[in-house]
Amino acid sequence: IEPVDVFWKCNKGYLSVVRSLPNGDVLIANTGDAAGNGKGGFIMLEKENLELKGNWENECDVPPTGYDFCYQPRHNVLISSAGAVPRRAGRGFNPDDLKKGVYGRRLNVWNLSCRSLTQCFDLGEDSLPLSVKFLHNPDAAEGYVACALSGIIYRFYKCEGENWAVEEVIRIPAKDVSGWIMCKMPAFTTDLIISTDDKFLYLCNWLHGDIRQYELSKHCKPRLVGQVFVGGSILRGGPVTVCRDEELKCQPEPLVVKCKRIYGGPSKMQLSLDGKRLYVTNSFYSTWDKQFYPNVVREGSVMLLIDVDTEKGGLTVNKNFLVDFGKEPNGPCLAHDIRFPSGDSTS
């Protein structure tokens, strides 16, 4: 699928998340136009030969930005998140971009069969909603979206008629720091995973460096039951000093697995169907990796295994497992998405 074809047929240029539709066609979310300006919406591939069919949404319903999406066919709904303007975000994180519309703020609700935009929720300036997931129960009319810059996780749910609503359910506070590009460091939640039994929700905090496990037995009030640090920017002995922290009493220790010091922060996760093995990689986006974690670019990223307590909750780094992408034949690589060929928590 050539970029020039996507541009001429769909007038789009920056593709992101891929999922199959109920009819078998492939839907790909878009983040920008060919010039790198923000542009949401989707392109669609034909299910048999994967040929480019064109745009999925109605022309009048294109959001200003886009990134991730999920859907529930039994409720005839698709939910999409906002992302950022590619040509600005592609240069790295610049505090001067804040309050200039570079980082998205909308959660979009679509009619799945009509392909029309029915509702938009403003989640706040520079909130940057990225990862969005429905519960796995096909009858469930609720899910969660993680806002990377605000550190807020919202629950979205169906209310009266065909209307949807959102509510804040988790807030991860920013840390007051020195030795960083801003005086406050956001959590920057890059990924959100829900276990297939809808019992636990997992979050990656790429900048702070921790993975969090929340119990969803009471969906309106997720409860933190597990937390483990696998890198991050606030490790003890690093250039950043935490001046005020609402959650931790001291800065976490660096992580070493199989004699290798782990740099970077948790970026993308994948969970086994039984919910006991949580895999994580630590590359988010190459220009941002270079800015915040240059050692990851020089040495290559890694994949780690987190052992999960599925009874009481709890996370533990498996010190016997390490995939080192710095030892690839053609040089260090940056690993991102993870998929199980036989099915995983995002299948």
**pLDDT at res. 342:** 85
Whether 30 and 39 have beta carbons less than 8 Å apart is answered as yes
Which residue matches tokens 């997931």? 133
Partners of 29 in the β-ladder: 42
**pLDDT at res. 219:** 62
Question: d(Cα 204, Cα 197) in Å, to the nearest integer?
Answer: 20
Smallest CA-to-CA distance from 199 within 276, 88, 132 is with: 276
Question: Domain spanning 3-171: which superfamily?
Answer: YVTN repeat-like/Quinoprotein amine dehydrogenase (2.130.10.10)
Tokens of 271: 């969970």
**pLDDT at res. 117:** 96
Whether 308 and 278 have beta carbons less than 8 Å apart is answered as yes
Would you give per-residue pLDDT tens digits along the chain (347 residues)?
Answer: 899 999 999 999 999 999 999 999 999 999 999 999 999 999 999 999 999 999 999 988 999 999 999 999 999 999 999 999 999 999 999 999 999 999 999 999 999 999 999 999 999 999 999 999 999 999 999 999 999 999 999 999 999 888 999 999 999 999 999 999 999 999 999 999 999 999 999 999 999 999 999 999 876 789 999 999 999 999 999 999 999 999 999 999 999 999 999 999 999 999 999 999 999 999 999 999 999 999 999 999 999 999 999 999 999 999 999 999 998 998 899 999 999 988 888 87
**pLDDT at res. 276:** 97
Question: d(Cα 131, Cα 83) in Å, to the nearest integer?
Answer: 9
DSSP-derived letter for residue 67 is: -
The domain locations on the chain are 3-171
**pLDDT at res. 228:** 98
Tokens of 105: 């703020």
Whether 193 and 201 have beta carbons less than 8 Å apart is answered as yes
Alpha carbon 284 to its chain centroid, in Å, reads 9
Q: Which residues contact 263 (CB under 8 A, 6 or more apart)?
A: 231, 282, 293, 295, 296, 299
**pLDDT at res. 35:** 93
Question: d(Cα 219, Cα 77) in Å, to the nearest integer?
Answer: 20
**pLDDT at res. 116:** 96
Alpha carbon 287 to its chain centroid, in Å, reads 17
Smallest CA-to-CA distance from 55 within 80, 35, 29 is with: 29
